[in-house]
Structure 1
Amino acid sequence: MEVLAWEKEIKKYISENHLQDLYTDENEEAINQVAIASAAKGTIPQFQDAGIRTLYAEQLVLEAQNWMQIRQNNRLIKQNDEIIKLLKENK
Structure 2
Amino acid sequence: MSSEHPGDGRDELLTIAQIIQRFEVSRQTLHRWRARGVFPAPEPNPGSTRMKWRESVVAAFIAANPKRPGTRTDLQQQVQEDIPSDGSTGDDEQH
What TM-score range do you get, normalising by the shorter chain?
Answer: 0.3 to 0.5
TM-score normalized by structure 2?
Answer: 0.33
Task: Say which structure is richer in strand.
Answer: 2
**Bigger RCO (CA 8 Å, 6+ sep):** 1
